[in-house]
Amino acid sequence: MSGWLAIAGLGPGDAALITPEVSAALAEATDVLGYAPYVARVAAREGLSLHASDNREELDRARHALRLAAAGRKAVIVSSGDPGVFAMAAAVFEVLEEQPEWAALEVRVLPGITAMLAAAAKAGAPLGHDFCAINLSDNLKPWPVIEKRLRLAAQADFAMAFYNPRSKARPEGFGRALDVLRAECEPERLVIFARAVSTKEERIVTVTLAEALPEMADMRTIVLVGNSQTRKAGRFVYTPRSAP
């Protein structure tokens, strides 16, 4: 088979943070597929077909891309950040598991800089010790699962990174998450709100858990919560590498 599929991460926003490997795949591609705002980040050119779709069409998008690759096309599915972090790589492999006739296709996952790491770098080093990442959207998992993971992560004293904290469709979810944290953590715990990292709209704000408000976050915000040892060094926030 002459076709292939690459699952690529476009990074957090700044074109300078797209890896050379991803840029090379996009330059060779005949087709680019993805959620519409991510496809819009790819420059149109002769010989390239752009296939934008809704954010909740991941499995259909994966099937479309695999069909294109099977037909000899060079397809790239784009995600923001890293494609393996709450993004399209898992959807592609779910389809491959269901439809083994595509198992012989050339499929590559091309890593990107995920928003969690870009936000942490802007803030300093808040993820300098053990940490976890939790997607606060309840579109694909129920709220009780999210709450349990939040509570156990806080009890284990992980630093935490929250993706998709608050949307117009579910504005109450992040408030619930803050309530869980306040039940398990001291009020002085540091919380970083990093919005639109690496873009012109970038905004980084650090507050204590007691000061954190639900409206400080939206879907373009990554929320980083320190562990009990996380502290400030001037304007920077860091978590020491030594255990408490």
pLDDT in tens, 149-207: 999 999 999 999 999 998 777 778 899 999 999 999 999 999 999 999 999 999 999 99
Half-sphere exposure of 210 (CA within 13 A, CB side): 3
For residue 223, the domain's CATH number is 3.30.950.10
* Length of the chain (residues): 244
What is the share, in percent, of the chain residues with pLDDT greater than 70? 99
**Which of 113, 128, 157 delimits the end of a domain?**
113
226: tokens are 């320190």
Asked if residue 39 belongs to a domain, the reply is yes
Distance (Å, whole) CA 2 – CA 190: 51
Whether the per-residue pLDDT at 49 is higher than 90: the answer is yes
Q: Kindly state whether residues 67 and 99 are assigned to the same domain.
A: yes
For 202-236, how does the pLDDT look when each residue is reduced to its tens digit (9 = 90+)?
999 999 999 999 999 998 999 999 999 999 999 99
Do 159 and 220 lie in one domain? The reply is yes
Asked if residue 243 is part of any domain, the answer here is: no
